[in-house]
Structure 1
Amino acid sequence: MDHMPEGGERTGDAVRTGAVRTAPAPAGGARPARSGGARCGRRLVALVVCLGLVVLLLLVSLGVGARGVPLETVWRVLLHDDGGPDAIIVRQLRLPRTALAVTVGAALALAGVVMQAITRNPLAEPGIVGVNAGASFAVVTAIAAFHVTSVSGYVWFAFAGAVLASLLVHALTSGATRSGHHTRLVLAGAALSASLGACTGILTMFDSSAFDSYRFWVVGSLENRGTEALTAAVPFVLAGTVVALVLGPSLNALALGDEAGAALGLRVPWVRAAGFVSVMLLCGAATAAAGPIGFVGLVVPHVLRLLLGPDLRWLLAFALPGGAILLLVSDIAGRVIAPPGELEVGIVTAFIGAPVLLWLVVRRREAGA
């Protein structure tokens, strides 16, 4: 008993100086690490499964249409171009369309995750920054003023309009306080979308040829886009993807709040600006290539959040295959719902997304109550 104070004092000094040796942790203490490692392993397996599902849907998309092509024929045509009618259908018609579906779906879903993170609004969707409205107005202007009729011509005008609209929304919200920034962003995006939508309606009202050309683009479609739209969109999508994935840890810190993020050493304005640039690149390129396709950036982040939790690093990683899966399924469904014709993919995603949006609004209202 006489040695206890002395030993206790020596132990306290060792703890304070950091010189105490750590005893082997008990079996129960190792469980959190093993649990975290197991969770990470399960998510990696799930990510591989999602990528495998994307590959399977790619093959299905190449085979489904007005003329069905068996999967084994699709695989043979991909490996060896025999020049037959199946090869022409698969390689020249469906392969660019399928690749565009993967690119656009991944871009919109990833942009949705980033948009909801930087606004801290789970109902935020990339279209609220004026991307769709800016692209639509630019396309109508290109048709009416410059008589542009090709999809390859639409792409650059649409991307320019999307970028300019996004920059204008950002300029309108740049002077807002931290607490009012999110509200002003939504209001500015809604106001700009309404204004540009009115201008677009005026142009199409007085120019019937512009309306005839514009109406096939505005519904959001992957049909007859060709490789020009894909090659024009891919560089911007890749750049926006890199920015979004690099921002993952910073967006996790930002989710704690601006003050908490700043206390952790986060440059909040720079992170938010970088996220905005990522959204602008992703949405601008996707909208320019395929037209306005709604709800992908809303549905995919919410489904992933329910399955994976709030960690934005995982949400960003899973958004890429998740968005591709949703748009591939929507495009395939559009081809088989109304044969021999088809529904545009933008219409199918609206059928899927509108009930989800209503459910989310009701859920938030009940949670607030």
Structure 2
Amino acid sequence: MFREFGYVQLPSIPLRVMRRAAWLLTSVTVLAATAVLTTRTVRSDEPVTDSVGTIDGAAVAVTGPLRMEVVRGFPRTVLRSGSDVLVKSGTARLDLTEGGTISICGPAHFSVLKSGNLLTFALDTGTIHLSIEHGPAVTIYTPLLQIQPIAIGDGPQDTLVGFDSTGAMCVRAYRGAVRLEQQLTSQNIVVPQSSDVLLLNGQLDGLRGGGDRCTCDPQLTKYLPPPRLELSAPPPPSEEAQARPLGSGTTIAALPLEKPAPKDGPIYQFNVPPLIYNANAEVQPEVDMSKITVVRRVRVRPTLIFQGRVEGELPLSSPPAAAPAPTSPRPAGSPPKPAAQAKDSVMDRMVHFVRKLWTRGS
């Protein structure tokens, strides 16, 4: 009834070795779980599949999901599915991830969605110019129309869609065709290549020629990175500068500051009474305009203004010597004139004076 089984004795494993093996297995499991969780977190935070492209512009505001990248030392904004873009003024450029560019001429407002290889733009205002060679399939929605560029064979797609200043919509097919479909009535038409149409109130019945009313040149929206500053090392000092002792440099005096010229014009000063606010009053008292004074300050000029300079007395100059009169030749028979008498002496004058008195008395 009963069978006897033989027991095989297994080799004994030391307890220390078992503990090390268990610790090693636990560490490997924790590291693997951490790597898996980190990968899932990165993928959930920054999914690669929903990146639309990088946008550049002078006055661009982006709301919703986006990502910032640094390309060649400059920050770039990466649009993701669900981004809402507002171009306040000027132009902007969107470089698609799958290839192709979209030029935006503001003011413009649109939002973008991405699903696989399909791009959907909801255009509210502004003008966009699509240039796609081998990129995603693009569909543009306006409040009343659905617009879809169509490539001819494997050719590129070059389409312009926008609104002019009057609110009319312009559609221009540079390369490839464009399909227009009315969202309410499902009426659709195809705009052939090199055609330009204008739609009023979103109705396909009243198509007319656009006449180049909407323009958005891709060359004007081309992104130009700002100039990068390069730091250069200063030149090494010359031997003469190194041999000069410290403190022997010349001192450069500061330039004198030019004082502003005083203003000669009048100065006006307004004196306004303080404002009064009463929290208990329903109507606040108005400012009394009769108490506002205007003071005009002017600089009075004198009626007589002397301009010139005062100099000292000039030194007396001797009168010019008169030229000697030419002497006429004296005739041979005339006698010479007597010499002039000498000046009267003091005694002769007194004698002459007494004679005059004597003559008057007699």
**TM bucket, shorter chain:** under 0.3
Asked which structure has the greater RCO (Cα within 8 Å, sep 6+), the reply is 1
**TM-score, scaled relative to structure 1:** 0.18
Structure number with bigger Rg:
2
Structure having the higher strand fraction is 2
